[in-house]
Every structure is written in structure tokens, then in C-alpha cells.
């Protein structure tokens, strides 16, 4: 989860140093990943206090959703950065 954000910061810094400032707006995939990351943290904290089987299932499902969205978001940003660097804009 944190790796995606670190990679985004490295990519942005590289683009900034190589070709100057480029707009890099957040994507819907990144926003969804962040939402489910926060939801997963909430579920983990609630499970620490109140052990419930349904909450455990929800936590597992949320963890898989987070993993999927982080991969999708990372690929999306990689493609977007690649296109920006190739186009020179």
C-alpha cells in the first residue's frame, strides 16, 4: 500500500527533475484505493476490539480489494507517466 505512494513520489520527482513541472492529477483508481485502505484500517481496529466473524470476512474482502486497486492504480499511473514522458507534455 505504501509502496505505491512511494513509487508515485519517486516518479513525480523524476519527471520534475528531467522535464520540469507536469500536472499529475489523482485518478479515480488512486482515490478508490485510498478509500479502501482507510476502510481496511478501520476494520482491523474494530476487529481488535470486537471479534466478529462477519467483520473478519469483511476485512478479508477489503484486503483483496485494496490489493487489486493498488495494482490497478499503479499500472494506471505507470501508463499515464509513460505517455506524458513520451509525448513530452
- Assign 3-class secondary structure to 31-72: HHHHHHHHHHHHHHHHHHHCCCHHHHHHHHHHHHHHHHHHHH
Question: What single DSSP character describes residue 89?
Answer: -
Q: Which residues of 24-42 are buried (b: 16+ CB within 10 A; e: fewer)?
A: eeeeebbebbbebbeebee
pTM: 0.73
pLDDT tens, residue order, the chain (89 aa): 567 678 777 877 877 777 776 676 888 998 999 999 999 999 999 999 998 999 999 999 999 999 999 999 989 988 887 787 777 65
Amino acid at each position: 500500500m505504501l509502496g505505491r505512494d512511494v513509487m508515485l513520489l519517486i516518479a513525480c520527482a523524476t519527471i520534475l527533475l528531467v522535464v520540469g513541472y507536469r500536472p499529475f492529477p489523482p485518478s479515480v483508481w488512486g482515490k478508490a484505493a485510498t478509500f479502501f485502505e482507510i476502510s481496511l484500517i478501520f476494520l482491523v481496529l474494530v476487529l481488535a476490539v470486537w471479534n466478529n466473524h462477519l467483520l473478519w470476512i469483511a476485512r478479508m474482502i477489503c484486503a483483496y480489494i485494496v490489493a487489486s486497486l493498488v495494482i490497478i492504480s499503479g499500472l494506471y499511473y505507470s501508463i499515464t507517466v509513460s505517455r506524458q514522458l513520451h509525448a513530452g507534455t
